Each structure stands twice: as structure tokens, then as C-alpha cells.
Amino acid sequence: MTGTDVTLVLLGVLIIVSRGSLAIWPVATRNVYQRLLKTNLRVRVFGLAILPLPVAMILVNQGNPRDAAVILTGLGYIFIFVVIVFFLIFPGIYRLVTEAVLDAMDTVMLRGAGAISTAIGILLIYAGVT
């Protein structure tokens, strides 16, 4: 397995672990997300915790000519920009948008988002394994 394959598998597992519970326990998962993002300090700590993921996406896939590596590198640059700007510099904006989106979604929409995220995670794992 190349670094791109490992990155795809880990990204798929991360998506399934973080969003898969929405399909089974939508209200409880929404409450956990809302408690996790209650203060600006928690948002900044969460941003620092996920910051190694886009850095790894960029560093592992640089110089690899495969299409998946180029796409992952581009997504890594976008992801690192979003993490730095919205999680670390302006966490209040991220909190307001996240709270508004989570409050507007009912259980059916949350279950649908969880199911779609799980399917995307499975596709990423499949792409990394094959």
C-alpha cells in the first residue's frame, strides 16, 4: 500500500467514526456535537486536534502522480485553510454556523447525513484498498 492508499483508508475510517453515529443515534450525536463546540476554546482545541490530518494529507501525497494523490493534496490545502481560518482564528463564526445548521436539522435529515457520510467513508476505504 502506498501513502495515498493509507490516507484514503484512514480518511474513510475517520468519516465513518465521526459521522456514522448520526444514522443510529441522531439526537444524541447532535447533542454531543453541540456540547463539544460550546465555547471558543473548545473549538480551537478541536481545530488543533484535527490539524495533523490535512498536514498528513499534503505531505504524504506530494510528488505522487496518481489522480487520487493530486485530489487528496488539493483537499488537504483546502482543509488546512478552513481549519486555520475558521477553527483557530475565527472560532465564533464556526460555532454560530454549526449551531444554526444543527438546530435546523430534524432527525430524518440527521439520519440521512449519517447514512450518506457512511457510504462516502466506505467508498474511500474501498478506493484505498483496491
State the average pLDDT over residues 71-90.
Answer: 93
- DSSP three-state, residue 39: coil
Question: 64 by DSSP, 3-state: which?
Answer: coil
Model pLDDT, residue 1: 77
pLDDT at 130 over 90: no
pLDDT computed for residue 16 by the predictor? 95
Residue 89 to residue 83: CA distance in whole angstroms: 9
One-letter identity of residue 75: L
pLDDT at 62: 83
**Average model confidence (pLDDT) across the chain:** 92
Eight-state DSSP code of residue 128? H
Q: How far is CA 53 from its chain centroid?
A: 9
How wide is the angle at C-alpha 42 spanned by C-alphas 41 and 46, nearest 5°? 120
CB atoms within 10 A of CB 127: 15
30-43 pLDDT per residue, tens: 999 999 889 999 99
